[in-house]
Amino acid sequence: MTRQQAVMHTAMTISSKPAWAGDDWLSRGVNLLIRTKPLYALMKRQARQVLIKTAEKKGIPWRESAAALAESGIQTRLAALTNPAVEYPDYYRVPFHAYAEGNLCWQAAFEAESATYSMALRVWPQEDLTWEAAQARLRGSFHEALAAHGPVTVRNILDVGCSVGISTRSLHQFYQHRQETAVSTIGLDLSPYMLAVAEYRDRDRTIAEWRHARAESTGFEAESFDLVTLQFVTHELPRTAAIAIFQEAWRILRPGGAIAITDNNPQSTVIQNLPPVLFTLMKSTEPWSDDYYTFNLEAALMQVGFGTPITTETDPRHRAIIAHKAVSTANA
Ligand SMILES: C[S@@+](CC[C@H](N)C(=O)[O-])C[C@H]1O[C@@H](n2cnc3c(N)ncnc32)[C@H](O)[C@@H]1O
Protein backbone atom coordinates (compact mmCIF):
# COMPACT_ATOMS: atom_id res chain seq x y z
CA MET A 1 0.00 0.00 0.00
CA THR A 2 1.40 3.44 -0.93
CA ARG A 3 1.33 6.27 1.64
CA GLN A 4 -1.49 7.98 -0.24
CA GLN A 5 -3.52 4.75 -0.32
CA ALA A 6 -2.88 4.27 3.40
CA VAL A 7 -4.16 7.78 4.17
CA MET A 8 -7.27 7.16 2.06
CA HIS A 9 -7.78 3.78 3.75
CA THR A 10 -7.71 5.39 7.20
CA ALA A 11 -10.01 8.24 6.16
CA MET A 12 -12.55 5.72 4.95
CA THR A 13 -12.49 3.61 8.11
CA ILE A 14 -15.31 4.05 10.59
CA SER A 15 -14.71 4.08 14.33
CA SER A 16 -18.15 2.89 15.49
CA LYS A 17 -17.84 -0.56 13.92
CA PRO A 18 -19.00 -3.74 15.67
CA ALA A 19 -16.32 -5.29 17.95
CA TRP A 20 -16.45 -8.52 15.95
CA ALA A 21 -15.20 -6.78 12.79
CA GLY A 22 -11.82 -5.25 11.99
CA ASP A 23 -8.67 -5.77 14.02
CA ASP A 24 -10.00 -6.16 17.60
CA TRP A 25 -9.11 -9.28 19.62
CA LEU A 26 -12.66 -10.59 19.27
CA SER A 27 -12.57 -10.20 15.51
CA ARG A 28 -9.13 -11.82 15.25
CA GLY A 29 -10.30 -14.74 17.41
CA VAL A 30 -13.34 -15.32 15.21
CA ASN A 31 -11.18 -15.16 12.09
CA LEU A 32 -8.85 -17.79 13.54
CA LEU A 33 -11.80 -20.06 14.28
CA ILE A 34 -13.05 -19.67 10.72
CA ARG A 35 -9.62 -20.55 9.33
CA THR A 36 -9.66 -23.83 11.27
CA LYS A 37 -10.82 -25.96 8.34
CA PRO A 38 -12.64 -28.94 10.01
CA LEU A 39 -14.48 -26.60 12.37
CA TYR A 40 -15.39 -24.30 9.51
CA ALA A 41 -16.75 -27.19 7.43
CA LEU A 42 -18.89 -28.37 10.34
CA MET A 43 -20.17 -24.85 11.03
CA LYS A 44 -21.08 -24.35 7.39
CA ARG A 45 -23.00 -27.64 7.20
CA GLN A 46 -24.93 -26.93 10.37
CA ALA A 47 -25.70 -23.35 9.42
CA ARG A 48 -27.12 -24.53 6.12
CA GLN A 49 -29.39 -27.10 7.79
CA VAL A 50 -30.69 -24.53 10.25
CA LEU A 51 -31.24 -21.95 7.51
CA ILE A 52 -33.28 -24.32 5.35
CA LYS A 53 -35.33 -25.76 8.24
CA THR A 54 -36.13 -22.31 9.63
CA ALA A 55 -37.15 -21.03 6.20
CA GLU A 56 -39.40 -24.01 5.49
CA LYS A 57 -41.06 -23.72 8.91
CA LYS A 58 -41.97 -20.16 7.93
CA GLY A 59 -43.52 -21.33 4.65
CA ILE A 60 -40.61 -20.58 2.28
CA PRO A 61 -40.51 -23.61 -0.03
CA TRP A 62 -36.69 -23.76 -0.09
CA ARG A 63 -36.03 -27.27 -1.40
CA GLU A 64 -39.18 -27.44 -3.51
CA SER A 65 -38.42 -24.17 -5.26
CA ALA A 66 -34.77 -25.11 -5.90
CA ALA A 67 -35.88 -28.46 -7.33
CA ALA A 68 -38.46 -26.79 -9.59
CA LEU A 69 -35.83 -24.39 -10.95
CA ALA A 70 -33.47 -27.29 -11.55
CA GLU A 71 -36.21 -28.96 -13.59
CA SER A 72 -37.17 -25.79 -15.47
CA GLY A 73 -34.55 -26.13 -18.20
CA ILE A 74 -33.09 -22.66 -17.68
CA GLN A 75 -29.62 -24.18 -17.70
CA THR A 76 -29.78 -23.93 -21.51
CA ARG A 77 -29.84 -20.10 -21.21
CA LEU A 78 -26.42 -19.94 -19.58
CA ALA A 79 -24.38 -19.55 -22.78
CA ALA A 80 -26.68 -16.86 -24.20
CA LEU A 81 -26.57 -14.86 -20.96
CA THR A 82 -22.81 -15.16 -20.50
CA ASN A 83 -20.69 -12.31 -21.79
CA PRO A 84 -17.47 -14.04 -22.86
CA ALA A 85 -15.49 -10.82 -22.38
CA VAL A 86 -16.17 -10.81 -18.62
CA GLU A 87 -13.19 -11.60 -16.41
CA TYR A 88 -14.04 -12.60 -12.86
CA PRO A 89 -12.04 -10.73 -10.23
CA ASP A 90 -10.22 -12.82 -7.59
CA TYR A 91 -12.40 -11.49 -4.77
CA TYR A 92 -15.45 -12.96 -6.53
CA ARG A 93 -14.03 -16.43 -7.08
CA VAL A 94 -13.96 -17.35 -3.40
CA PRO A 95 -16.49 -19.50 -1.50
CA PHE A 96 -19.56 -17.47 -0.53
CA HIS A 97 -22.67 -18.23 1.50
CA ALA A 98 -21.36 -21.76 2.05
CA TYR A 99 -21.17 -22.48 -1.71
CA ALA A 100 -17.68 -23.60 -2.70
CA GLU A 101 -18.03 -21.87 -6.08
CA GLY A 102 -19.61 -18.76 -4.58
CA ASN A 103 -22.19 -17.16 -6.85
CA LEU A 104 -20.90 -19.01 -9.90
CA CYS A 105 -22.99 -22.17 -9.65
CA TRP A 106 -26.55 -23.36 -10.15
CA GLN A 107 -27.11 -24.31 -6.53
CA ALA A 108 -26.47 -20.74 -5.38
CA ALA A 109 -28.79 -19.41 -8.08
CA PHE A 110 -31.58 -21.91 -7.39
CA GLU A 111 -31.50 -21.13 -3.66
CA ALA A 112 -31.05 -17.35 -3.91
CA GLU A 113 -34.74 -16.50 -3.85
CA SER A 114 -35.38 -18.48 -0.68
CA ALA A 115 -32.26 -17.03 0.93
CA THR A 116 -33.48 -13.52 0.07
CA TYR A 117 -36.92 -14.17 1.58
CA SER A 118 -35.33 -15.63 4.74
CA MET A 119 -33.09 -12.60 5.10
CA ALA A 120 -36.12 -10.29 5.22
CA LEU A 121 -37.81 -12.46 7.85
CA ARG A 122 -34.77 -12.11 10.15
CA VAL A 123 -35.26 -8.33 10.31
CA TRP A 124 -38.41 -8.51 12.43
CA PRO A 125 -38.04 -11.69 14.51
CA GLN A 126 -40.55 -10.55 17.14
CA GLU A 127 -43.32 -9.96 14.65
CA ASP A 128 -45.22 -12.83 13.18
CA LEU A 129 -44.85 -11.68 9.59
CA THR A 130 -45.26 -13.92 6.56
CA TRP A 131 -42.21 -14.03 4.33
CA GLU A 132 -44.13 -12.15 1.64
CA ALA A 133 -44.99 -9.34 4.08
CA ALA A 134 -41.41 -9.16 5.37
CA GLN A 135 -40.04 -8.94 1.84
CA ALA A 136 -42.51 -6.20 0.88
CA ARG A 137 -41.63 -4.25 4.03
CA LEU A 138 -37.88 -4.58 3.41
CA ARG A 139 -38.17 -3.29 -0.15
CA GLY A 140 -40.80 -0.70 0.79
CA SER A 141 -38.54 0.98 3.33
CA PHE A 142 -35.79 1.39 0.72
CA HIS A 143 -38.32 2.80 -1.74
CA GLU A 144 -39.49 5.28 0.90
CA ALA A 145 -35.91 6.51 1.31
CA LEU A 146 -35.69 6.88 -2.47
CA ALA A 147 -38.97 8.79 -2.59
CA ALA A 148 -37.68 11.16 0.08
CA HIS A 149 -34.10 11.64 -1.09
CA GLY A 150 -33.70 10.18 -4.59
CA PRO A 151 -34.02 11.86 -7.99
CA VAL A 152 -37.44 13.38 -8.67
CA THR A 153 -37.96 11.86 -12.10
CA VAL A 154 -36.35 8.62 -13.08
CA ARG A 155 -36.21 7.60 -16.73
CA ASN A 156 -33.86 4.70 -16.34
CA ILE A 157 -32.38 2.61 -13.60
CA LEU A 158 -29.44 0.25 -13.30
CA ASP A 159 -29.78 -2.27 -10.47
CA VAL A 160 -26.21 -3.39 -9.81
CA GLY A 161 -25.77 -6.84 -8.26
CA CYS A 162 -29.34 -7.71 -9.21
CA SER A 163 -28.87 -11.41 -8.42
CA VAL A 164 -32.10 -13.28 -9.29
CA GLY A 165 -33.94 -10.01 -9.93
CA ILE A 166 -36.12 -9.61 -6.81
CA SER A 167 -34.67 -6.17 -6.06
CA THR A 168 -34.84 -5.14 -9.73
CA ARG A 169 -38.48 -6.04 -10.37
CA SER A 170 -39.65 -4.51 -7.13
CA LEU A 171 -37.78 -1.24 -7.77
CA HIS A 172 -39.08 -1.08 -11.33
CA GLN A 173 -42.67 -1.53 -10.14
CA PHE A 174 -42.22 1.16 -7.52
CA TYR A 175 -41.18 3.76 -10.10
CA GLN A 176 -43.77 2.62 -12.62
CA HIS A 177 -46.53 3.30 -10.10
CA ARG A 178 -44.98 6.44 -8.66
CA GLN A 179 -44.59 8.53 -11.79
CA GLU A 180 -46.49 9.14 -15.00
CA THR A 181 -43.48 8.92 -17.27
CA ALA A 182 -42.16 5.52 -18.29
CA VAL A 183 -39.16 3.97 -16.60
CA SER A 184 -36.73 1.51 -18.12
CA THR A 185 -34.78 -0.78 -15.79
CA ILE A 186 -31.71 -2.96 -16.29
CA GLY A 187 -30.40 -5.60 -13.90
CA LEU A 188 -26.65 -6.27 -13.91
CA ASP A 189 -24.80 -9.09 -12.23
CA LEU A 190 -21.51 -10.92 -12.45
CA SER A 191 -23.17 -14.32 -12.13
CA PRO A 192 -24.85 -15.59 -15.32
CA TYR A 193 -26.43 -18.34 -13.18
CA MET A 194 -28.27 -15.70 -11.13
CA LEU A 195 -29.24 -13.89 -14.33
CA ALA A 196 -30.75 -17.08 -15.77
CA VAL A 197 -33.14 -17.25 -12.79
CA ALA A 198 -33.82 -13.50 -13.04
CA GLU A 199 -34.74 -13.79 -16.70
CA TYR A 200 -36.92 -16.86 -16.07
CA ARG A 201 -38.90 -15.07 -13.34
CA ASP A 202 -39.36 -11.97 -15.48
CA ARG A 203 -42.08 -13.68 -17.49
CA ASP A 204 -43.72 -10.46 -18.76
CA ARG A 205 -40.33 -9.05 -19.80
CA THR A 206 -40.78 -5.94 -17.69
CA ILE A 207 -37.02 -5.52 -17.33
CA ALA A 208 -35.23 -4.05 -20.34
CA GLU A 209 -32.09 -6.17 -20.03
CA TRP A 210 -30.37 -8.67 -17.77
CA ARG A 211 -26.73 -7.80 -18.26
CA HIS A 212 -23.72 -9.95 -17.41
CA ALA A 213 -20.89 -7.57 -16.49
CA ARG A 214 -18.58 -6.45 -13.74
CA ALA A 215 -20.13 -3.53 -11.91
CA GLU A 216 -16.70 -1.88 -12.10
CA SER A 217 -16.91 -1.74 -15.91
CA THR A 218 -20.52 -1.97 -16.99
CA GLY A 219 -19.97 -1.13 -20.65
CA PHE A 220 -22.68 1.58 -20.60
CA GLU A 221 -22.12 5.03 -22.05
CA ALA A 222 -21.31 7.91 -19.74
CA GLU A 223 -24.30 9.80 -18.32
CA SER A 224 -26.93 7.26 -19.32
CA PHE A 225 -28.84 6.57 -16.04
CA ASP A 226 -30.82 8.62 -13.50
CA LEU A 227 -30.50 6.04 -10.75
CA VAL A 228 -27.95 3.35 -9.95
CA THR A 229 -28.82 1.05 -7.04
CA LEU A 230 -26.78 -1.45 -5.05
CA GLN A 231 -29.13 -3.46 -2.86
CA PHE A 232 -27.37 -5.77 -0.40
CA VAL A 233 -24.25 -5.84 -2.56
CA THR A 234 -21.66 -3.72 -0.75
CA HIS A 235 -21.22 -6.16 2.17
CA GLU A 236 -20.05 -8.72 -0.40
CA LEU A 237 -17.25 -6.51 -1.71
CA PRO A 238 -13.73 -5.67 -0.63
CA ARG A 239 -13.50 -1.91 -0.29
CA THR A 240 -11.25 -1.51 -3.35
CA ALA A 241 -14.02 -3.06 -5.47
CA ALA A 242 -16.69 -0.90 -3.82
CA ILE A 243 -14.70 2.24 -4.63
CA ALA A 244 -14.22 1.14 -8.26
CA ILE A 245 -17.97 0.48 -8.54
CA PHE A 246 -18.80 3.92 -7.09
CA GLN A 247 -16.48 5.49 -9.70
CA GLU A 248 -18.26 3.60 -12.47
CA ALA A 249 -21.67 4.60 -11.08
CA TRP A 250 -20.59 8.24 -11.07
CA ARG A 251 -19.47 7.93 -14.72
CA ILE A 252 -22.72 6.40 -15.99
CA LEU A 253 -25.06 8.67 -14.00
CA ARG A 254 -26.48 11.80 -15.54
CA PRO A 255 -25.87 15.05 -13.66
CA GLY A 256 -28.70 15.25 -11.10
CA GLY A 257 -28.88 11.45 -10.91
CA ALA A 258 -28.16 9.44 -7.78
CA ILE A 259 -26.58 6.29 -6.45
CA ALA A 260 -28.68 4.53 -3.81
CA ILE A 261 -27.31 1.81 -1.60
CA THR A 262 -29.09 -0.35 0.93
CA ASP A 263 -27.29 -2.84 3.13
CA ASN A 264 -26.54 -3.89 6.70
CA ASN A 265 -26.10 -0.99 9.06
CA PRO A 266 -22.86 -1.43 11.06
CA GLN A 267 -24.05 1.24 13.52
CA SER A 268 -27.38 -0.41 14.29
CA THR A 269 -27.87 -1.89 17.76
CA VAL A 270 -28.88 -5.21 16.24
CA ILE A 271 -25.71 -5.54 14.18
CA GLN A 272 -23.47 -4.21 16.96
CA ASN A 273 -24.91 -6.78 19.37
CA LEU A 274 -25.20 -9.83 17.14
CA PRO A 275 -24.80 -13.01 19.21
CA PRO A 276 -21.36 -14.69 18.75
CA VAL A 277 -22.81 -17.66 16.88
CA LEU A 278 -24.43 -15.38 14.33
CA PHE A 279 -21.52 -13.05 13.68
CA THR A 280 -19.15 -16.02 13.42
CA LEU A 281 -21.43 -17.63 10.86
CA MET A 282 -21.84 -14.38 9.00
CA LYS A 283 -18.10 -13.79 8.81
CA SER A 284 -17.47 -17.37 7.77
CA THR A 285 -19.85 -17.20 4.82
CA GLU A 286 -19.22 -13.60 3.72
CA PRO A 287 -15.48 -13.24 3.21
CA TRP A 288 -15.33 -9.43 2.92
CA SER A 289 -17.22 -8.71 6.15
CA ASP A 290 -14.26 -7.12 7.95
CA ASP A 291 -13.79 -4.72 5.06
CA TYR A 292 -17.46 -3.79 4.89
CA TYR A 293 -18.11 -3.30 8.60
CA THR A 294 -15.12 -0.96 8.98
CA PHE A 295 -15.66 0.95 5.75
CA ASN A 296 -16.95 4.52 5.64
CA LEU A 297 -19.12 4.26 2.53
CA GLU A 298 -20.20 7.89 2.73
CA ALA A 299 -16.58 9.13 2.71
CA ALA A 300 -15.81 6.86 -0.24
CA LEU A 301 -18.79 8.18 -2.22
CA MET A 302 -17.68 11.76 -1.64
CA GLN A 303 -14.12 10.85 -2.56
CA VAL A 304 -15.24 9.73 -6.04
CA GLY A 305 -17.21 12.94 -6.62
CA PHE A 306 -20.73 12.48 -5.22
CA GLY A 307 -22.36 15.19 -3.11
CA THR A 308 -22.87 14.70 0.64
CA PRO A 309 -24.73 11.39 1.06
CA ILE A 310 -27.95 11.11 3.06
CA THR A 311 -28.05 8.06 5.29
CA THR A 312 -31.28 6.81 6.84
CA GLU A 313 -32.04 3.80 9.01
CA THR A 314 -34.58 1.87 6.98
CA ASP A 315 -35.23 -0.90 9.52
CA PRO A 316 -33.59 -2.31 12.67
CA ARG A 317 -30.72 -3.87 10.65
CA HIS A 318 -30.37 -1.86 7.47
CA ARG A 319 -29.64 1.59 6.15
CA ALA A 320 -30.05 3.43 2.88
CA ILE A 321 -27.36 5.76 1.58
CA ILE A 322 -28.28 8.09 -1.26
CA ALA A 323 -25.82 10.44 -2.94
CA HIS A 324 -26.35 12.71 -5.93
CA LYS A 325 -24.13 13.62 -8.83
CA ALA A 326 -24.13 17.41 -8.99
CA VAL A 327 -26.13 18.99 -11.79
CA SER A 328 -23.09 21.01 -12.76
CA THR A 329 -20.04 18.79 -12.49
CA ALA A 330 -17.64 21.50 -13.63
CA ASN A 331 -16.48 22.21 -10.06
CA ALA A 332 -17.19 18.81 -8.51
C1 LIG B 1 -26.75 -10.47 -2.05
S2 LIG B 1 -26.80 -10.41 -3.77
C3 LIG B 1 -27.81 -9.00 -4.09
C4 LIG B 1 -29.23 -9.28 -4.02
C5 LIG B 1 -30.22 -8.37 -4.72
N6 LIG B 1 -29.69 -7.10 -5.13
C7 LIG B 1 -31.38 -8.17 -3.74
O8 LIG B 1 -31.47 -7.10 -3.16
O9 LIG B 1 -32.17 -9.12 -3.56
C10 LIG B 1 -25.25 -9.74 -4.29
C11 LIG B 1 -25.08 -9.88 -5.79
O12 LIG B 1 -24.00 -9.04 -6.18
C13 LIG B 1 -23.34 -9.66 -7.25
N14 LIG B 1 -22.00 -9.07 -7.39
C15 LIG B 1 -20.99 -9.11 -6.49
N16 LIG B 1 -19.91 -8.46 -6.97
C17 LIG B 1 -20.26 -7.98 -8.19
C18 LIG B 1 -19.59 -7.22 -9.19
N19 LIG B 1 -18.35 -6.80 -9.01
N20 LIG B 1 -20.24 -6.92 -10.32
C21 LIG B 1 -21.52 -7.33 -10.52
N22 LIG B 1 -22.21 -8.05 -9.61
C23 LIG B 1 -21.59 -8.37 -8.47
C24 LIG B 1 -23.35 -11.13 -6.88
O25 LIG B 1 -23.17 -11.96 -8.00
C26 LIG B 1 -24.71 -11.29 -6.22
O27 LIG B 1 -25.66 -11.77 -7.13
Model pLDDT for residues 11-69, shown as the tens digit of each residue: 566 657 777 576 676 666 666 666 666 767 777 777 788 889 989 999 999 999 999 99
What's the length of the chain?
332
Report angle CA 17, 21, 23 to the nearest 5 degrees. 100
Provide mean pLDDT across the span 114-130: 93
Q: How confident is the model at residue 313 (pLDDT cuts 50, 70, 90)?
A: very high
Residue to substitute in 163, 240, 318 for testing ligand 1 pocket (most ligand atoms within 8 angstroms of CB): 163
Whose CA is closest to atom 15 on ligand 1? 161
pLDDT at 5: 53
**Number of Cβ atoms within 10 Å of the Cβ of 330:** 6
Provide mean pLDDT across the span 145-161: 97
Architecture of domain 3-324: 3-Layer(aba) Sandwich (3.40)
Kindly give the distance from the C-alpha atom of residue 237 to the centroid of ligand 1, in angstroms, as a whole number: 9
Kindly give the distance from the C-alpha atom of residue 198 to the centroid of ligand 1, in angstroms, as a whole number: 12
pLDDT at 121: 94
pLDDT at 332: 45
Kindly give the distance from the C-alpha atom of residue 330 to the centroid of ligand 1, in angstroms, as a whole number: 32
For residue 166, give the ligand 1 atom closest to its CA: 9
pLDDT at 331: 47
pLDDT at 12: 63
For residue 241, give the ligand 1 atom closest to its CA: 19
Least confident range from 98-107, 221-230, 303-312: namely 98-107
Measured CA to CA, the distance from residue 313 to residue 305 in angstroms comes to: 23
Residue to substitute in 169, 233, 259 for testing ligand 1 pocket (most ligand atoms within 8 angstroms of CB): 233
Contact 170, 144 (CB under 8 A): no
Kindly give the distance from the C-alpha atom of residue 236 to the centroid of ligand 1, in angstroms, as a whole number: 8
For residue 194, give the ligand 1 atom closest to its CA: 27
Q: Is the pLDDT of residue 191 over 70?
A: yes
pLDDT at 51: 84
Q: Is the pLDDT of residue 110 over 50?
A: yes
Measured CA to CA, the distance from residue 53 to residue 256 in angstroms comes to: 46
Q: How confident is the model at residue 95 (pLDDT cuts 50, 70, 90)?
A: confident
Give the tens place of pLDDT for each residue, 219-239.
999 999 999 999 999 999 999
Q: What is the mean pLDDT of the chain?
A: 89
Whose CA is closest to atom 7 on ligand 1? 167
Q: Is the pLDDT of residue 285 over 90?
A: no
Q: Is the pLDDT of residue 3 over 60?
A: no
**More confident of the two residues 72 and 34:** 72
Least confident range from 116-125, 200-209, 257-266, 274-283: namely 274-283
Q: HEC profile for the chain? A: CCHHHHHHHHHCECCCCCCCCCCCHHHHHHHHHHHCHHHHHHHHHHHHHHHHHHHHHCCCCHHHHHHHHHHCCHHHHHHHHCCCCCCCCHHHCCCECCECCCCCCHHHHHHHHHHHHHHHHCCCCCCCCCHHHHHHHHHHHHHHHHHHHCCCCCCEEEEECCCCCHHHHHHHHHHHHHCCCCCEEEEEECCHHHHHHHHHHCCCCCCCEEEECECCECCCCCCCEEEEEEECCHHHCCHHHHHHHHHHHHHHEEEEEEEEEEEECCCCHHHHCCCHHHHHHHHHHCCCHHHHHCECHHHHHHHCCCCCCEEEECCCCEEEEEEECCCCCCCC
